[in-house]
Structure 1
Amino acid sequence: MTLRELARRLGVSPSFLSQIENGKSQPSVATLYSMAQTLDVSIDHLFEGTEAAAPAEPDVAAPDIAAPEEEPEPIRRSDLGSLEHVWEDSGSMGRLSVTSPGNRTRLVMDTGVVWEQLATNTAHQLDFIEIVYPPGSSSTNDERMLRHDGFEYGYLIEGELEVTFGFETFMLHAGESLGLNSSVPHLFRNLGTVPARGIWFVHHDHN
């Protein structure tokens, strides 16, 4: 079964499944259960480590091992635009959502920036996430400014972020918050030496 086919059966994106495979994202319990059922294995089996392979005998040629059909797809923030539709179970509107550290869906950008989903029952209208910008990181690798429909509201818990909004640039410090129209070109950069961490609420417009 290809990674893309498994992602289709689980109802998640191939890039999200690649990040689980590489330890960059944490699947929910529901996803683990669905994965175990689809692959016809126990959940415990998914956590089993692999034994170190014994070295091959010098005179015996190692068997050919087929390369993975699909390489992990890095998430390019420049191409992603809005957060809409990127989260697993983003269409859910359950009455209650509780998440805990280590058991949340995480998306790791090619810039090193990390988004962590704090609620799974927000459907496609909004996102409630934690963002972490490592030192020297930026919203995009190519310094391209982002724009998408909707509004963003953020509260910075730690560190500092340089915010470029249209033609204006300013520093957002820990304890400060902002609200911005996401259709205006914007860019975040961490110019400091410590991670910048904040809580973000993103509302998506629907025509």
Structure 2
Amino acid sequence: MKHLRETPWDKRNFNMDTFEVTGTREEALQETNKYNGHYTLKIGPLESPELLLKYGFYYMDTLIEPVCKKENLHLFDKDATSITKDYNPSEIILIAEESFKHGRFHRDFNIPNSMADTRYMNWVKDLQEKDQIYALMYEDDTAGFFAYEDDKVLLLGIKEEYRSRGLAKAFTSQGCAEQFKHGHNELRTSISAANVASLNLFYSLGFRLMNTVDVYHKVTGPGV
């Protein structure tokens, strides 16, 4: 597989082989016809998708990738909020289950929603095992979680009853501040262009747009 990278973390959820395509040349696209499975391909927004459409790819999402330098992080305080790594893992899983209903795999008509749910649940479990999650606490209750890896902010989930209460800025800025303590000079994240609330949140914390990519999917063979 010259132009394909297997993604076993997705294969375990979708009951078929899964791949990332590493280039947009026709040689790479031809390779996606050789193996049954689900494919993800990311391109710059100014690149023409003509060849992708010819080979059966379909547009899935646009990801905006903001970056925040350490000195530009805006911290927000909110009474009774804190973060901790001392939490009940099952509570985090329950919050994750209700937090990710509009991801690109939920929008993919070739992936059942139940499988998209499983993908996020397994991802959160993996991050728990790697100690890359902070629980977001409101008083003594687990109100959400903040997941990261190295310099990347990966996931933010807040329990439904705590949404729209002005807590997201405090929780997220506290998570970023802890992440900066690991020695990073800047943090980055990836947000769907459709997720305006999340874009506004990270902009308020000091993140600024650095890159944008369009995401395409394809299924070769019988699918799920």
Structure number with higher relative contact order (C-alpha < 8 Å, ≥ 6 residues apart): 2
Structure with the higher strand share, 1 or 2: 2
Q: Which has the larger radius of gyration?
A: 1
Structure with the higher helix share, 1 or 2: 2
Query: Is the structural similarity TM-score above 0.5?
Result: no
Q: Could you tell me the TM-score, scaled by structure 1's length? A: 0.25
Q: Could you tell me the TM-score, scaled by structure 2's length? A: 0.24
